[in-house]
Structures are given as structure tokens and as C-alpha cells.
Amino acid sequence: MTTFKITLAYDGAGFVGWQRQANGVSIQALIEDALGELDGRDVAVIGAGRTDAGVHACGQVAAFTIVRDLRPASVVRALNAHLPQAVRVIGAEEAPPEFHPRFGARAKTYRYRLWNDEVMSPFDRAYAWHVPGPLDVAAMAAAARRIEGRHDFAAFQAAGSSVATTEREIFSSRIVECGLWTGRESTIGSAVESTIQSAIRNPHSALLCYDVTGSGFLRHMVRIIVGSLVEIGRGRQPVEWIVGAIAGRDRAGAGPTAPPHGLFLVRVDYGGALAAGS
């Protein structure tokens, strides 16, 4: 039996999320069903993160063990032949039997895309939150950096969540200049923050992104952070308000939850030979 680690990209629209559910089509179910045909038995697939309904991924990681003797390239071809076009396996490699995509992850990176212009691009409408009107992007960038570090993020989780602890460590939390994800975008530093307001008025710069890397995330955590940053960008709250929201540990003290379609799971990092996408 061989354990494989696969990297996936998918358009989350029309799916109930990563996790198999009784109602609706999930990414996990699609892969398990494809592997069932491939291996001739039920195959359990474990994912690195449970993306919600409507959330996308360009670097989700999953693992499974199969009996059939296949090389990684054959796994990619065979799975993609059974999966819908909205879900693609973009890489596969053999992994140790003990590899666990979720528990073994050292960090996860998410990107949230916002379209800050009066008119929404028809080509981005399914992959970015339309936020018209002026935004104080420098204030949003300053507030984003306040999130970095180890904190109790109870105020930034969906109601009804049950987790052992709401403490998480955020390694990087930045507003970035973005287009398509390349993994090489530079974060906006203080030296250029004064130019942001004029930059986003450029028709080619209407797309604004928030990138966050952390040890782990609570349910809806990134989307609530984004909703809070937009409140600051609109001038409804000061920069330091987000610090108070963290300290208050009360969901009512943070901003609204941004819609799911602007969120992407970009990368899962493991270190060494099992770095996501390697």
C-alpha cells in the first residue's frame, strides 16, 4: 500500500465545501469517489483544511493510501480523468504512511481578493468581493499588521464553533498589491503606503488583496478579519479598534463576515521534502 500526498486547485462555487456532507457535493466526496473507482475499494481522503462552501483553493493538500501500484504522475492523470473540470489535481508525490495533511502542517496561507471600484469586473465577480467607494488602504494595512503574533481569536470565529482552543499564531498579515497569485508578491511597506490611495484609483489596480499566513485558523476567521479591515478602510472604525476586538474575545465586537467567494486557500507548508506544491 502506498500513501500519496496530492495538491489540489478548485473553484468552490457550487460545492458545499471540502468536507463530505449528507446534502450537496463536496470536494472530499468527489476525490473519494474517484479513488474508489481507481482502487476498487473505499478510500478515505484527509484534507489539510476544511474550506467552507464557496471558498476556492489553489494549494489545498490531501492524503490517502491505495493498494493499486501507481506512480505519482499516473495518480494525477487518473484522478483528473474522473474529476469535474472545476477540481484539478495539480501535483502528487509519495509520502510516509504517517503523513497527516492537517496535523503535520506548519503553516497555511490564505488570500482574500477585493475589487475596490464602482464597477465590478465581470471577470472577477465570482472570485472577489465588490467593495465600492473609497478605502483607506494605508489604515487597513496598519490594522492588518496588528493581527500578527499569538492571540486568542475568539472574536474572529463563527458562532457555534467548538474547538479546544481559540488561540492561534499569525506569522504574516498584510494587504498586498496583487494580480494572479505567483507567490512572489511583495507586501506593502510603510515606504509606499502613502501612494496606495492613488494607486487603487488606477483601473489596473482595482484589485486589492489580503494575505495571511498562520499556524491555523478558526472557522470563518479570515473572512471576519477581512470584514473588520473593510470597516476600518471605510472609516467606520479606527486602526486600534481591531486590537480591542481581539482583546474583547466577543464575536459581536468584530466586523462582519466577508462573503466566501473572495477567499482562496493558497498554500500549505510542511517544511523539508513535504512542502506543499513541491
Q: Residues 104-124: what's their mean pLDDT?
A: 94
Instruction: Decide: 144 and 173 in contact? Cβ < 8 Å.
Output: yes
Which pLDDT belongs to residue 182?
40
SS3 labels along the chain: CEEEEEEEEECCCCCCECCCCCCCCCHHHHHHHHHHHHHCCCCCCEECCCCECCCEEEEEEEEEEECCCCCHHHHHHHHHHHCCCCEEEEEEEEECCCCCCCCCCCEEEEEEEEECCCCCCCCCCCCCEECCCCCCHHHHHHHHHHCCEEEECHHHCCCCCCCCCCEEEEEEEEEEECCCCCCCCCECCCCCHHHHHHHCCCHHHCEEEEEEEECCCCCCHHHHHHHHHHHHHCCCCCCCHHHHHHHHCCHHHCCCCCCHHHEEEEEEECCHHHCCCC
Query: Which of these, 125, 149, 127, 165, lies nearest to 212 by C-alpha position?
Result: 149
pLDDT of 105 over the 80 cut: yes
* Residue 162, pLDDT score: 75
Nearest CA to 186 out of 211, 206, 169 is that of: 211
Tell me the backbone φ, ψ of residue 100, rounded to 5 degrees.
Answer: -125, 115
Q: What is the reported pLDDT for 194?
A: 39
Q: What is the pLDDT of residue 58?
A: 94
Give the pLDDT of residue 199: 41
β-bridge partners, 170 = 149, 214
Convert the pLDDT of each residue in 152-195 to its tens digit.
999 999 987 778 899 999 999 999 877 544 444 443 333 333 33
Q: What is the mean pLDDT of the chain?
A: 88
Contact criterion met (CB below 8 Å) for 86 and 14: yes
For the annotated catalytic residues, the residue numbers are: 52
Per-residue pLDDT at 36 exceeds 60? yes
pLDDT at position 186, please?
Answer: 40
- Please report which confidence band the pLDDT of residue 275 belongs to, taking 50, 70 and 90 as the band edges: very low
Model-level pTM?
0.88
Q: How far is CA 14 from the centre of its chain?
A: 17
Look at residue 161 in the predicted model and tell me its pLDDT. 75
Q: Is the pLDDT of residue 88 over 50?
A: yes
* Whether residue 278 has pLDDT greater than 70: no
pLDDT of residue 265 exceeding 90: yes
Q: How many CA atoms lie within 13 A of 59 on its CB side?
A: 21
Q: Which residues contact 208 (CB under 8 A, 6 or more apart)?
A: 113, 114, 115, 116, 135, 137, 175, 178, 200
pLDDT at position 226 over 50 = yes
- Which of 102-116, 159-173, 250-264 is least confident? 159-173
70-86 average pLDDT score: 96
The distance in angstroms from the start CA to the end CA of the chain is: 22
